[in-house]
């Protein structure tokens, strides 16, 4: 035993403890303010049970509007993904700070930040006001979301590449575009396919939602069924959305598999 007594291995961090105490106090205060209570939850469960009861069994009350809504959602997702990917490629490239001068990266990064700052539903509301009700507004809203997501991740992927490979291609006297296609793209291609298929997946989900604000797709059908209290039809719509998302996920996985397989070498 040392005469100096027990030495503390970890000094007490009073600031940290005070911080945790403040956080706990604020959570309790906020819950009280918002009437976030157990009693309301119990009452709510009762309502929920009745609501679910009315959903069973699901009934396809309007097969035409269900089918049209689903097809429209799918088309919104595909078009928005395609346009979003095509537009985000150059923007992401311009935003990569290791390849581009500041005067190019700065506006590109601003554009990406702007695209990311609002939820797709808010953007959809803006586009409904701008171009009117319908799929056009939904497509534009999801294009914006796709540019924000893929552009940012693509730029980050480019910023992580090995510049040695780029340097070697530059040393052959290759033009700027050839440097990009040989020195840069091979290094980010597989990741880009990953982002793109993920965004397709995400657009598919979001395309079912933009209809709630009138921007086309199954969301509109769902919203009007809700307003008519046709809960059995609501259930049918929800089930078909789930089915569509699952099919989409399988498709996205398949696309990913095809491209990543192609990236490999025969007999490797």
Partner 1 sequence: MAAPALHLRGLAMEYVRGKPVLRGIDLEVGSEGLTAIIGPSGTGKSTLIRCINRLVDPTAGEILFQGQDLARLRGEALRHARRRIGMVFQEYNLVERLSVMENVLSGRLGYVSPWKAWMRKYPREDIDRAFELLDLVGLSAFPNQRADSLSGGQRQRVGIARAVMQRPQLLLADEPTSSLDPKTSVEIMELMRDLGRSQSIPVMVNMHDVELARRFADRIVGMSGGTIVFDGPPAALSDEQLKGIYGGEGWLH
Interacting residues toward partner 1 by CB under 8 A: 162, 164-165, 167-175, 177-179, 181-183, 186-187, 189-190, 263-266, 268
The nearest distance, CB 191 to partner 1, in angstroms, is 11
Range list of H helices, 9-96: 14-33, 38-55, 63-95
The nearest distance, CB 246 to partner 1, in angstroms, is 32
The nearest distance, CB 48 to partner 1, in angstroms, is 52
Residue with smaller CB distance to partner 1, 89 or 174:
174
Residue with smaller CB distance to partner 1, 98 or 162:
162
Residue 128 burial class via C-beta count within 10 angstroms: exposed 0-12, middle 13-18, buried 19 and up:
buried
- d(CA 197, CA 246) in angstroms, rounded, equals 14
Q: What is the DSSP letter of 181?
A: I
Residue with smaller CB distance to partner 1, 12 or 171:
171
Sequence-distant (≥ 6) Cβ neighbours of residue 2 within 8 angstroms: none
The answer to whether the beta carbons of residues 66 and 237 sit under 8 Å apart is yes
The nearest distance, CB 169 to partner 1, in angstroms, is 6
Residue with smaller CB distance to partner 1, 135 or 184:
184
- d(CA 268, CA 253) in angstroms, rounded, equals 21
């Amino acid at each position: 035993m040392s005469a100096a007594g027990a030495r503390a291995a970890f000094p007490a961090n009073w600031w940290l403890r005070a911080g945790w105490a403040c956080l706990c106090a604020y959570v309790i205060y906020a819950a009280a303010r918002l009437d976030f209570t157990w009693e309301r939850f119990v009452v709510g469960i009762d309502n929920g049970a009745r609501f679910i009861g009315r959903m069973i069994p699901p009934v396809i009350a309007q097969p035409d509007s269900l089918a049209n809504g689903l097809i429209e959602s799918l088309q919104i997702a595909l078009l928005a993904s395609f346009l979003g990917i095509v537009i985000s490629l150059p923007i992401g490239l311009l935003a990569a700070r290791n390849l581009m001068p500041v005067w190019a990266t700065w506006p590109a990064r601003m554009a990406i930040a702007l695209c990311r700052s609002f939820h797709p539903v808010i953007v959809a509301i803006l586009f409904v006001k701008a171009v009117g009700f319908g799929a056009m507004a939904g497509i534009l809203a999801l294009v914006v979301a796709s540019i924000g997501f893929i552009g940012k991740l693509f730029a980050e992927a480019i910023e992580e590449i090995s510049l040695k490979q780029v340097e070697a291609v530059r040393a052959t006297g290759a033009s700027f575009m050839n440097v990009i296609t040989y020195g840069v793209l091979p290094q980010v291609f597989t990741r880009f396919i990953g982002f793109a298929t993920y965004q397709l997946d995400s657009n598919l989900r979001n395309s079912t939602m933009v209809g709630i604000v009138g921007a086309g797709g199954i969301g509109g059908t769902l919203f009007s069924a809700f307003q008519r209290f046709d809960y059995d039809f609501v259930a049918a719509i929800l089930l078909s959305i789930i089915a569509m998302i699952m099919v989409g996920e399988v498709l996205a996985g398949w696309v990913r598999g095809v491209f990543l397989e192609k990236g490999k070498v025969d007999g490797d």
